[in-house]
Amino acid sequence: MDEDTNEAFTIIEEAIDNFHNGYSDQRPYVETIRQLYLEDYENLKAKLESID
């Protein structure tokens, strides 16, 4: 992986950990078009892994 892909992969791993730790629920509930779900993070992670 190149440096940018490696950095993106690290950020996604951190985002998944934060999601599992409940950090996505620390604001008043507002459904937004930009809201990310665990499936979104996992799909992006899989795409990054396939770039290799």
How many CA atoms lie less than 13 Å away from 9 in the CB half-sphere? Answer: 13
- Where do the structural domains in the chain lie, given as residue ranges? 3-51
Q: Looking up tokens 């799909």, which residue turns up?
A: 43
pLDDT in tens, the chain (52 residues): 689 988 998 999 988 888 887 765 566 665 555 678 889 989 999 998 888 6
Contacts of 45 (CB under 8 A, 6+ apart): 9, 12, 13, 16
Q: How many CB atoms lie within 10 A of CB 26?
A: 8
